[in-house]
Amino acid sequence: MANAASFLTEMTRKMLDKVERAGLPPLHQQPVAQARLSYRMGVGAMEGERVEVARVDNFSIAGPAGPIPARLWAPSHDACLPVLLYLHGGGFVVGGIDTCEGMCRRIAQQSGAAVVAIDYRLAPEHPFPAGLEDAFAALQWLVAEGISMGLDPTRIAVGGDSAGGTLSAALALMARDAGVALALQVLFYPSVEPSAVTESYKVFSSQKLMLDEPLMRWFETQARGAGFKSDWRREPMLAASHEGVAPAWIGLAECDPLADEGRKYAQRLQAAGVPVQLTVWPGVVHDFINMGRFIPEAYQAHAAVALALKTAFGL
């Protein structure tokens, strides 16, 4: 098997060395509540400086199981801003608004669009598809009520990283079926076919590169809960059709077990006639977009998403 370390950039290797020297237990060996705190603290230590934006609003959205906490970042107080609905990563188990805030601020500042993130329900308390149901409720709210927050209901994109990328891919398909026209779907290293064993999974899942096979198995066990049945919404690759879904921007990390799933999904969308922009950042690992303090490619990725949104929204 290939030595994954040989693929890494120098900055990525140094960051991983720092993580190893810290000697913290892996997330999957911690109780869920502690894993959530550890992940939040880890992102806080690695994301880098947060930029200022003109507007930050905390609010809630009516959801299927009660209010969904939400936060909006906007570069101005202008009315009728286009909006990206952002869904954080964390294996459906950890993560939240706070762990994606640094990137959401940068995207808002650089794109000219507003960004709204939500604290969707997490497993194991709320197994799949609870989080997706919350995401769909938030999308419906933006279409019907977003104007009350100064947002343009005709210019909406969805996006997310890792588990949030999975949710965004499924949400884009659900939006198509509901007749909601999205300007773009932004997918950072989504898990779209966990039942498949790809070459990138074989090479990168058995080595200490932030996301490994034990952690993925732990996430999946928590997320599925008891009685889970096969569901294309968890594996968007398996949807009956991808025709007519929103154009996609897909960003991947080369040294990531999920890299080939992202590549395959890009090919699936392209085969269905969907415009796709695919970028693979060499030598970086899963979750690199939250590591701007150490990995400069993080900020490059934020800027690339901002540019894609500007283009999609006509800004």
Mark whether 161 is an active-site residue. Answer: no
Burial class (CB in 10 A: 0-12, 13-18, 19+), 23: exposed
> Which of the residues 134, 161, 256, 260 is marked catalytic?
256
Tokens of 76: 């101005």
Dihedral pair phi/psi, residue 254, rounded to 5° = -60, -45
State the sign of the Cα–Cα–Cα–Cα dihedral 57, 174, 100, 156.
negative
Distance CA 156, CA 152 (A): 7
Annotate 227-263 with DSSP letters as a single string. T----TTTSGGG-S--TTPPPEEEEEEEESTTHHHHH
Give the distance, in angstroms, between the CA of residue 291 and the centroid of all CA atoms in the same chain: 14
Examine the residue annotation and report whether 256 is marked as an active-site residue of this protein: yes
The answer to whether residue 286 is catalytic is yes
Residue with token string 């894609």: 308
Structure tokens at 223: 């997320």
Residue among 152, 286, 287, 302 flagged as catalytic: 286
C-alpha–C-alpha distance, residues 199 and 257, integer Å: 8
Q: Of the listed 88, 111, 162, 200, which one is catalytic?
A: 162
Q: Which stretches does DSSP call E strand in 102-202?
A: 114-118, 151-161, 184-188
CA distances from 70 to 6, 56, 88 (A): 41, 11, 12
Which are the catalytic amino acids? 162, 256, 286
